């Protein structure tokens, strides 16, 4: 566990990543409804867990590219090259997992593209990134709503190697019509980068993040709730939509599969999970900041007690990939046990495996691979004398 206790490591970020992984596992395994009611797992995690992951991806990128002092000059050029290679490795893993029949909307190819996009803004500080992220969250859903009628409806299957035969269609799904549209999700990344440029070890920072997150999340839901009744009758669902045939109220609570229909501009006022609207993005960004702030505070008062969760969050790429492989391998088995019990088994296995692995002091297998490949891309530009940055 020494690596997790390193003074260079922000343990609260690892804890938050661990929570995000557990939440995503819940939405992968537990049904969205139970007895006609929205399940607790979906009430808590749907849309929020994946958004937390995306925001934390931005935080992590900021931490490895200078933290509070963004890299510049040769260091910035090296960081961009390293992150671009890291993006390729993550996309490679995602395309491979997409081949499997897991039932999971694999997010890694989208993450890889987000990482590639981040290379443009890695040298910016929080004063530029924060307003840019906020504007992105507000404006891009409107742009996407205008563009999507021109494209093939999504979300389609998880991106896989087979999709490379139709690169234009794949790019449309990744950017605009899929489960995690990169056009809008870049806002999560910008906010995460801005947060990662803050002094995260200060108690005041954690408190402000939690407070700002709670206010943003609450306001987004309240304003959406006030506007939605005014245009509810305009929300028609075409048969090509993935939510066709589902009660609209239920779809607004459980998930919209990445985007809303484009039959009316009133769709932009909904805030349902994975709807990709400004209200959805602002709400889930708020919950992500709230969760991160709370985890940063928790790490200050109970760091050692939370090390198993931090260990889980330190190797999420490996654990997420194993989770998808296990789901694919057991999908046709049809276990008779309760889905909540199945989720609990996945969570316990992940925490135990991560905790045991952390005792070795090594990174997770896929994390080590990614670090080695991306690090080799950095070294030719930085040379031996380059300073290390906090992780």
| pLDDT by 10-residue block (mean), the chain, 391 residues | 79 97 96 89 95 97 94 93 96 98 96 97 97 98 97 92 96 96 98 98 97 98 97 93 90 92 96 97 98 97 94 97 95 76 96 96 95 81 43 43
| Lookup result for tokens 């009430």 | 43
State residue 375's pLDDT score: 87
In a domain, 4, yes or no: no
pTM metric for this prediction:
0.94
Q: Taking a C-beta distance cutoff of 8 angstroms, is the pair 87, 112 a contact?
A: yes
Closest C-alpha among 351, 283, 223, 320 to residue 55 = 283
State residue 73's pLDDT score: 93
Q: Taking a C-beta distance cutoff of 8 angstroms, is the pair 273, 256 a contact?
A: yes
In a domain, 329, yes or no: yes
Give ∠ CA 41-43-44 in degrees, rounded to 5.
70
- Alpha carbon of residue 239 to chain centroid: 29
Q: Give the domain range for residue 366.
A: 11-374
In a domain, 247, yes or no: yes
Count Cβ atoms within 10 A of the Cβ of residue 338 and give its class: 0-12 exposed, 13-18 middle, 19 or more buried: exposed
Residues with Cβ within 8 Å of 171's Cβ and at least 6 positions away in sequence, in order, are none
Q: Provide the β-strand partners of residue 38.
A: 33
State residue 335's pLDDT score: 61
State residue 388's pLDDT score: 41
In a domain, 6, yes or no: no
DSSP 33: E
Element (H, E) at 358: helix 339-358
Q: Taking a C-beta distance cutoff of 8 angstroms, is the pair 289, 212 a contact?
A: yes
Q: Taking a C-beta distance cutoff of 8 angstroms, is the pair 273, 46 a contact?
A: yes
In a domain, 202, yes or no: yes
Domain count, the chain: 1
In a domain, 387, yes or no: no
Q: Taking a C-beta distance cutoff of 8 angstroms, is the pair 163, 169 a contact?
A: yes
Q: Provide the β-strand partners of residue 37.
A: 34
Distances (CA, A) of 56 to 39, 189, 315, 364, 383: 26, 8, 13, 18, 29
In a domain, 384, yes or no: no
DSSP 175: I
Cβ neighbours of 98 (radius 10 Å)? 21
Q: Taking a C-beta distance cutoff of 8 angstroms, is the pair 226, 292 a contact?
A: no
Give the dihedral sign, CA 160/377/191/129. Answer: negative
Exposure b/e, 317-328, CB count within 10 A at least 16 = b: bbbbbbbbeebb
In a domain, 385, yes or no: no
Count Cβ atoms within 10 A of the Cβ of residue 208 and give its class: 0-12 exposed, 13-18 middle, 19 or more buried: middle
Determine the Cα–Cα distance for residues 386 and 379; give it in Å rounded to an integer.
9
């Amino acid at each position: 566990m020494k690596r997790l206790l390193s003074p260079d490591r922000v343990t609260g970020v690892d804890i938050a990543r661990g929570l995000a992984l557990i939440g995503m596992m819940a939405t992968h395994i537990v049904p969205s409804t139970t007895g006609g009611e929205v399940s607790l797992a979906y009430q808590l995690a749907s849309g929020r867990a994946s958004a937390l992951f995306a925001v934390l991806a931005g935080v992590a990128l900021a931490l490895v590219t200078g933290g509070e002092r963004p890299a510049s000059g040769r260091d910035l050029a090296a960081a961009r090259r390293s992150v671009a290679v890291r993006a390729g490795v993550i996309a490679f893993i995602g395309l491979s997992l997409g081949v499997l029949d897991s039932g999971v909307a694999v997010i890694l190819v989208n993450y890889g593209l987000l990482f590639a996009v981040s290379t443009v803004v890695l040298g910016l500080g929080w004063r530029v990134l924060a307003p840019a992220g906020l504007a992105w969250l507000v404006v891009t859903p409107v742009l996407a709503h205008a563009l999507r009628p021109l494209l093939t409806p999504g979300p389609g299957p998880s991106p896989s190697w087979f999709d490379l035969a139709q690169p234009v269609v794949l790019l449309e799904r990744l950017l605009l019509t899929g489960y995690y549209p990169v056009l809008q999700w870049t806002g999560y990344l910008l906010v995460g980068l801005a947060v990662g440029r803050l002094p995260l070890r200060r108690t005041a920072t954690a408190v402000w993040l939690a407070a700002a997150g709670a206010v943003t999340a609450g306001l987004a839901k309240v304003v959406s709730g006030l506007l939605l009744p005014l245009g509810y009758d305009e929300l028609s669902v075409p048969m090509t939509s993935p939510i066709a045939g589902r009660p609209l109220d239920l779809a607004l609570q459980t998930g919209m599969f990445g985007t809303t229909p484009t039959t009316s501009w009133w769709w932009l006022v909904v805030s349902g999970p994975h709807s990709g609207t400004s209200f959805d993005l602002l709400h889930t960004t708020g919950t992500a900041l709230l969760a991160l702030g709370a985890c940063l505070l928790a790490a200050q008062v109970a760091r050692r007690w939370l090390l198993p969760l931090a260990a889980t969050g330190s190797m999420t790429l490996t654990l997420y990939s194993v989770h998808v492989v296990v789901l694919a391998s057991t999908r046709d088995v049809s276990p008779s046990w309760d889905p909540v019990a199945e989720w609990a088994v996945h969570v316990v296995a992940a925490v135990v495996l991560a905790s045991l692995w952390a005792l070795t002091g090594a990174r997770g297998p896929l994390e080590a691979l990614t670090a080695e490949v991306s690090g080799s891309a950095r070294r030719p530009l930085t040379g031996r004398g380059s300073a290390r940055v906090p992780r």
